[in-house]
Amino acid sequence: MAIAFDNATTGTVTLPTTTVTYTHTAAGDNRCAVVGASYFDSPAPNPTCSYDSVSMTQEVRVNDAGVSQAALFSLVAPGTGTNVDVTVADCGVQGGVSSGCCTFTGVAQADPTRATAAASDLTVAVTSAADDWCMDNYSHALDGTPDASQTERFSALQGGRYADSSTEIATGASTTMSWTDGVANGTVAVSLIPAAAAPPIPAGTLMGQAFM
C-alpha cells in the first residue's frame, strides 16, 4: 500500500506562552499524524505533544544552543473527527511556538517509523527505503525554500522562528532533505514505512474457503 498525503494545518502562539493548540482534520485508512514544532529557550526544553488528548511519541529533536530548536512527534490511527485539537506543550518562553501537523494514509500501523535524523544545519540525511515518505521540520529565523526534490507542506511563523516542513518520497537507503535560506539552525526528519499490501487471495478460494 502506498503512502499518500492527507492534510496539513498549523498553529502558533507568542511568548511567554509555552503551549500552542490548533485544530486538524484527518481521514483515510492506515493513518499516521506527524507534528513538527519550532521553539526556543535556554536551557533547551523537552516538549510534549498530543492529538485529540492522546499522547504522541516524540520521534526526534534538535537543540541548537544559539537560535532555534525543533522536534517531530508521531501517532498512528489518529482520530478522524473534524477540528481535533493538536497541542504542543512545554516549549519554553523565549521565542513563542510555531507548529504544524501533517496526516498521511497508507502508513504501517505497528511501527510507522524506520529512522529519524537531526542536525544543526540546513541539511539532514535520514535512513530510508524505497517508497518510504520522509518528512522534516526546519526551525530557523528566515522562511526557507525546500530542495526541488521536496514538497513543502506547511510554513508557520511566531517569535521570529519558522516551522517549515516538507516531504520527499524515498528512492533508496538514505534520503537527504535540505533547505535554502542562509541560516543554519536545526532540522529534524523522520521516515515513514508504507503499510504492507494485503496478500493476494490464492486461486481456487472464495472468501478464504477452498471450493471445487
The pLDDT tens digits of the residues spanning 152-173 come to 999 988 767 788 999 999 999 9
Whether the per-residue pLDDT at 200 is higher than 80: the answer is no
In this structure, the strands spanning 161-169 and 133-140 are antiparallel
Whether the per-residue pLDDT at 63 is higher than 60: the answer is yes
Nearest by Cα to 21 from 110, 83, 92: 83
Strand partners, 125: 176
Q: Which residue has the higher pLDDT, 141 or 126?
A: 126
Neighbour-count burial for 101-111, b at 16+ CB within 10 Å, e otherwise: bbbbbbbbeee
Whether the per-residue pLDDT at 34 is higher than 80: the answer is yes
Average pLDDT over residues 16-31: 90
Strand order from edge to edge, sheet including 4-13: 4-13, 97-105, 32-39, 69-76, 57-63
Place of cell 481521514: 27
| pLDDT confidence of residue 184 | 54
| pLDDT confidence of residue 83 | 77
Kindly report, residue by residue over 169-196, the tens digit of the pLDDT.
999 999 999 988 766 567 888 999 999 7
| pLDDT confidence of residue 14 | 79
CA pair distance 31, 78, nearest whole angstrom: 7
| Distant-in-sequence, close-in-space partners of 160: CB < 8 Å, separation ≥ 6 | 95, 96, 141
Q: Residue 43 burial (CB < 10 Å; 0-12/13-18/19+)?
A: exposed
Cell of 196: 504492507
Q: What pTM did the predictor assign? A: 0.90
Tell me which range, 41-50, 114-123, 127-136, is most confidently predicted by mean pLDDT.
Answer: 127-136
Strand partners, 192: 113, 133
Strand order from edge to edge, sheet including 113-119: 113-119, 186-192, 133-140, 161-169, 151-158
pLDDT band at 198 (very low <50, low <70, confident <90, very high): low
Whether the per-residue pLDDT at 212 is higher than 90: the answer is no
Kindly report, residue by residue over 76-90, the tens digit of the pLDDT.
999 998 878 998 887
| pLDDT confidence of residue 41 | 78
